[in-house]
């Protein structure tokens, strides 16, 4: 019974990797890279750092467009699919011990949970009235990029509270507001 669940899960992940691979092969990479590069050149950022109970919060404002958010999402999805592919290859390997395979499976579950939490946070932030949001959570750092016309410390604190409710207190948390 357990073997069948693992097989179904493995096939699901492999099909996800195949679909994402086809998407990236057919996507126009020059457009994405040009948009990101242009944004970096035009970027005017004003950074304000707040220190609160063992957290370092960074507030940044930059000009943005929908293409920048899409480029960031694609980059995040690409990194996630690469990590999942590596873990899937580990699981398929016959050289690993059962403990190592179990550890790889736990890492894959953690990646999936983190991706789900990122999506939930993005939805919650959008529900607060922001145009768009992108959450990138690593093991010790969370970067929240929000597309909004209003940007101030109160809005950043509201986002920080949402992140802390969903992910718990993180050592490093950056909130970036991107304007049109």
Question: By the 8 A CB rule, do 64 and 179 touch?
Answer: yes
State the virtual CA torsion across 123, 124, 128, 131 in degrees, nearest 10. -30
- pLDDT tens track for 104-113: 889 999 888 8
Note the pTM of the prediction, 2 decimals.
Answer: 0.59
The total number of structural domains that make up the chain: 1
Residue 79 lies in a domain: yes
- Domain membership of residue 109 as a residue range: 58-178
Residue 6 lies in a domain: no
Residue 162 lies in a domain: yes
Residue 163 lies in a domain: yes
- pLDDT tens track for 114-169: 888 888 999 999 898 888 888 888 877 888 888 888 778 888 888 888 888 888 77
- pLDDT tens track for 34-90: 444 444 444 433 333 333 444 555 555 555 556 777 888 888 888 888 998 888 888
CATH number at residue 169: 1.10.287.4300
Asked whether the predicted pLDDT for residue 176 surpasses 80, the reply is: yes
């Amino acid at each position: 019974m357990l073997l069948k669940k693992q097989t179904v899960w493995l096939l699901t992940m492999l099909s996800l990797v195949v679909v994402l691979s086809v998407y990236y092969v057919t996507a126009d990479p020059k457009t994405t890279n040009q948009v990101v590069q242009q944004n970096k050149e035009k970027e005017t950022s004003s950074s304000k750092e707040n220190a609160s109970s063992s957290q370092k919060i960074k507030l940044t404002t930059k000009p943005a467009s929908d293409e920048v958010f899409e480029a960031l999402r694609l980059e995040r999805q690409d990194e996630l699919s690469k990590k999942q592919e590596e873990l899937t290859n580990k699981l398929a390997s016959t050289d690993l011990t059962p403990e190592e395979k179990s550890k790889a499976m736990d890492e894959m579950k953690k990646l999936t949970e983190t991706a789900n939490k990122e999506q939930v946070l993005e939805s919650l932030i959008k529900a607060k009235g922001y145009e768009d949001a992108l959450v990138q959570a690593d093991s010790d750092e969370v970067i929240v990029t929000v597309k909004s016309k209003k940007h101030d410390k109160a809005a950043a604190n509201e986002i920080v509270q949402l992140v802390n409710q969903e992910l718990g207190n993180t050592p490093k948390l950056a909130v970036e507001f991107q304007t049109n």
